[in-house]
Amino acid sequence: MKDFLAISDYSSAEVRDMLDLAVRLKQEYFTKGNQPIFKGKVLGMIFQKPSLRTRVSFDMAMRHCGGDALYLSPNEIGLGKRESIADVARVLSGYVQALMARVFEHEHVLELAKWSSIPVVNGLSDYNHPCQGMADALTIVEKFGNQQGLNVTFVGDGNNVAVSLMHVSAKLGWNFTLASPEGYDLDPKAVNVANTISAETGSTLSFVRDPHAAVKNAHVIYTDTWTSMGQEEETAKREKVFPPYQVNAKLVGEADKDVIVMHCLPAHRNHELTDEVADGPHSVIFPQAHNRLHAQKAILARLLGVA
């Protein structure tokens, strides 16, 4: 593994291997603490977008395993503005052992990986969110085991989080359904990639408008904010379109009796997700957030070749 830019870049076996390693590292952390497998390693963290989970989970993942992390704010780098992405990549390659970048444009993280001689991790882009997708998969596996044929439903905007959830679901043989309003569908390129994967694994992909039809027999209901960062000018319009896609107790009651409800956070409570559901018995949103830490340990371990 040279870089971690998209879940679709890896085979189903490689995705399962990283998830198995994440399980082992999580168990190790809670029993005796992680071994210092990242000793002498520093992760450079480039942020164009602010973050709570991405910053803290990567920083603590490095610390838990004996390494360190260096936060680089937007003002310090000005990626592609103050200095070219190619120059930033080549400079940082001589300072740290890996890079994580949380960017607006997917092309920026691809450009970093192109010019970097060290591993690059996509911490989020406008196209996908693969680290979130791995944490989501870890959470689902913890609940349901490694069984195939699970029904995973995303309700809301076909955004970058939905892309990675679709791809990891297809890789693991889970059936993926998106319920979204017209005009808020998934990137066709991402769907084409998922179709290729599902043809190999036997998973199914469904795209519907009706959220109630989408959650029938669902083992997982996933939602996200109606307006993602960088789309603030669309807020008023989206507030009129998305209310029928709210994940509330009625919708959850129409799914499988053991359904889990997921959200990548931050949540706009009582918009896309009601308090009753977010804090209810089906919610796994906080274990899901905590799993970012352990999934990312596994990703970094494979990239750095230390586990």
Catalytic-residue membership of 129: yes
Q: What is the number of residues in the chain?
A: 307
DSSP reduced 3-state for 152: strand
Look up 271 and say whether it is catalytic.
no
Alpha-carbon span 122 to 103, nearest angstrom: 8
User: Of 10, 93, 11, nearest to 46 (Cα)?
Assistant: 93
68 a catalytic residue: no
Chain mean position to CA 157: 15
Closest-CA residue to 186 (of 239, 230, 224, 232): 224
Rg over alpha carbons for the chain, rounded to the nearest Å, is 19
Asked if residue 272 lies in contact with residue 223, where contact means CB atoms within 8 angstroms, the answer is yes
- CA separation for the pair 263, 285 (Å, rounded): 6
CB atoms closer than 10 angstroms to residue 192:
10
Angle formed at CA 136 by CA 65 and CA 197, multiple of 5 degrees: 110
| Residue among 224, 246, 288, 294 flagged as catalytic | 224
Q: Which of 102, 167, 219, 263 is catalytic?
A: 102
Confirm whether 279 is a catalytic residue.
no
Question: Any idea of the CA torsion for 208, 210, 214, 215, to the nearest 10 degrees?
Answer: 160
48, 97, 132, 288: which is the annotated catalytic residue?
Answer: 132
Q: Which of 271, 282, 292, 294 is catalytic?
A: 292
User: Is 136 a known active-site residue?
Assistant: no
Give dist(CA 287, CA 143) in Å, integer: 11
As to burial, measured by CB atoms within 10 angstroms (0-12 exposed, 13-18 middle, 19+ buried), residue 11 is: exposed
Per the structure block, which two tokens stand in for 243? 């209310």
Separation CA 273–CA 139 (nearest Å): 19
The single residue of 64, 106, 108, 129 carrying the catalytic annotation is: 129
Active-site annotation holds for 224: yes
Task: List residues with catalytic annotation.
Answer: 102, 129, 132, 224, 264, 292
